[in-house]
Structure 1
């Protein structure tokens, strides 16, 4: 756990705030471009954790920074926007996340960054790392917002484009544009952008996407249709998708209400637990005061990845693990439910 002081709060357009963080003890966390940090808040005996992507880059000489959008019903969002002030102290866990960019100084390739709104946060960090830690790559940022005035980091991004005019291209997309064909990202627009800016071998190109699920699905399906491999396409999800279940579907759904016994191995100890149908493995572990690793509690980060060594586990939602990893027994504790008696799980 790190103890960090909020050294500066910077207003951003569209109800966002950037928080610069400094270590009190001097033990700054190591992180990679694209990762997030989890802040821990304790209210009495109740702990609440929230994860925020770094918009700072470890390759740039700048303070640790995160940017938080104001969410009216968000417990921690309201706290950060309306209560926290410069000089306040927050507790943070080790940086996490698989949505990372590994720079290769001599690599000749094109890096396409697709961002919508505050989805720019981790991509801004990746953009800076690619520009500073590499010399031969080209970066294309495709950035969608409602208006120019509501675009976070616009002036900062323009500065980077001026600094690296031969390597950074920014495609600004505004939904209030009168040119409707380019007011929103669409399949044809993606084709045109990639075909116009692809530099180097097609198989070396990388695509990072961050925004609403439907936005990232559009990017992914279009790029796959263009012949790019799924391994070239990365995504980071901030919010769960809408419940897409058909409201008119009145078919009676059978629910397994069994309480399953499991063996949970963590830090050299084995715990024998019972998991009811309406609670996740993580829920039960925390109820038994086991200090399991977790962050988002919604299947969107990698903090609670574990291995099912016996039995089976189903997950309500999974935005992290690949099909192959799931086949090999990887699970997420936060959305995982055992579906066989005496299932064994090892926390990684």
Structure 2
């Protein structure tokens, strides 16, 4: 791992390879010029990636799909309607281009939350397969006694990210059970249908003996969680991930009997005093002023947008990466905080 690499100070990595996984998904390999450097992270974690688009540096969070301790980071990126960074990478990033990368982070990983009895059930849909693929490959290559079942929901084999690689793992490792649940009707050996409680039991009969790791669209994860609860699963062994941005990122909300009040957000180090509507998102307000705040995951889970505000001037939906001491000192995650009174902001 590189020295002086933090989640607020990026390093530059070079794209050394790029290829199509499916018709709307690519994988890229990123590395330094020094090929002896390897990357250490916890399988399941993500990095925040920054690209310059129309003169503005944009950061977004992507799960790592490679395994630790190799000389590159692999990211797998799916096209998103209106996705500025994802679509830029798919359409325009070329081998040899440089990208800014923040250090790997995220609580959703198999190191901080190891499976009990070396038995794991991975459940994913769409591009949610990215972090669990890293987990599965790490477990299987490190310990032949790991028992891993992967249930993945997709439209078809052609639309299944890592389809060939997953089949190769299933052929190589007897304790890896690949269970695809496909939407489109095709002549395959895999099940067809929509994931529900019955399919969970059918595809992983011993799921109550396993630890579960889940990643996918929000509604998919909510449904799976409800199925597990109904089945009497031990929810202390349930781990999940999502990068869905908070809904309060862009708009102000009416306060006090629908009367919108104005407050001032001051940034003394940049000689800024911004009049905004009470309830405005801190990150969106600072970004609109062109201030140098990195806002990557937009979900309150990466910590890149940490800043310090006047006590009791904001309210937050997430403090996940902040220590108790930082919270007491007035630090917030800007993407997950709204302004409720006159506030003064300083960057870390």
Bin for the TM-score computed over the shorter chain: 0.7 to 0.9
Question: 2:260 is matched with which residue?
Answer: 257
What is the TM-score with the length of structure 2 in the denominator?
0.76
SS at match of 2:131: helix
Give the direction of change, closer, same or farther, for the CA distance of 1:261–1:191 in structure 2 (3 Å limit).
farther
Q: CA deviation at 1:116?
A: 0.6
SS at match of 2:158: coil
Q: CA deviation at 1:301?
A: 4.5
User: Matches of residues 146-165 of structure 1 in structure 2 within 5 Å?
Assistant: 146-165=155-174
User: Matches of residues 176-191 of structure 1 in structure 2 within 5 Å?
Assistant: 176-177=184-185, 182-191=192-201
1:220 aligns with one of 220, 225, 232: 225
CA distance in 2, matches of 1:242, 1:310: 24
Q: CA deviation at 1:229?
A: 4.1
Question: 1:121 is matched with which residue?
Answer: 130
Q: CA deviation at 1:297?
A: 2.6
Structure 2 residue ranges without an equivalent (≥5): 1-9, 249-254
Instruction: Give yes or no for contact 1:105–1:136 (8 Å, CA) kept in 2.
Output: no
Give the direction of change, closer, same or farther, for the CA distance of 1:5–1:126 in structure 2 (3 Å limit).
same
Q: CA deviation at 1:79?
A: 2.1
Residue by residue over 1:245-277, the C-alpha shift from the partner in whole angstroms, topping out at 9 and shown as x without a partner, is xxxxxxx99446334467999xxx9x9976733
Instruction: Give yes or no for contact 1:5–1:22 (8 Å, CA) kept in 2.
Output: yes
SS at match of 2:159: coil
Q: CA deviation at 1:134?
A: 4.0
Question: 1:236 is matched with which residue?
Answer: 241
Q: CA deviation at 1:174?
A: 0.4
Instruction: Give yes or no for contact 1:7–1:87 (8 Å, CA) kept in 2.
Output: yes
Residue by residue over 1:4-33, the C-alpha shift from the partner in whole angstroms, topping out at 9 and shown as x without a partner, is 111111211241111011112565553221
Question: 2:333 is matched with which residue?
Answer: 332
**2:55 matches 1:52:** no
SS at match of 1:108: helix
SS at match of 1:149: helix
Aligned residues: CA RMSD = 4.0
Question: 1:202 is matched with which residue?
Answer: none
Instruction: Give yes or no for contact 1:106–1:135 (8 Å, CA) kept in 2.
Output: no
**2:91 matches 1:91:** no
What is the TM-score with the length of structure 1 in the denominator?
0.76
Instruction: Give yes or no for contact 2:13–2:31 (8 Å, CA) kept in 1.
Output: yes
Deviates more, 1:105-114 or 1:152-161: 105-114
Q: CA deviation at 1:212?
A: 1.2
Instruction: Give yes or no for contact 1:311–1:341 (8 Å, CA) kept in 2.
Output: no
Give the direction of change, closer, same or farther, for the CA distance of 1:94–1:298 in structure 2 (3 Å limit).
same
Instruction: Give yes or no for contact 1:209–1:216 (8 Å, CA) kept in 2.
Output: yes
User: Matches of residues 261-272 of structure 1 in structure 2 within 5 Å?
Assistant: none
Q: CA deviation at 1:230?
A: 3.6
Instruction: Give yes or no for contact 1:2–1:23 (8 Å, CA) kept in 2.
Output: no
Give the direction of change, closer, same or farther, for the CA distance of 1:31–1:79 in structure 2 (3 Å limit).
same
Q: CA deviation at 1:72?
A: 4.8
Structure 1 residue ranges without an equivalent (≥5): 200-204, 244-251
User: Matches of residues 1-348 of structure 1 in structure 2 within 5 Å?
Assistant: 1-25=10-34, 29-43=39-53, 45-58=55-68, 61=70, 63-102=72-111, 108-165=117-174, 167-177=175-185, 182-199=192-209, 205-239=210-244, 254-255=257-258, 257-260=260-263, 276-277=276-277, 279-286=280-287, 291-299=292-300, 301-304=302-305, 310-311=311-312, 313-315=314-316, 321=320, 332-340=333-341
CA distance in 2, matches of 1:240, 1:110: 31
Give the direction of change, closer, same or farther, for the CA distance of 1:256–1:181 in structure 2 (3 Å limit).
farther
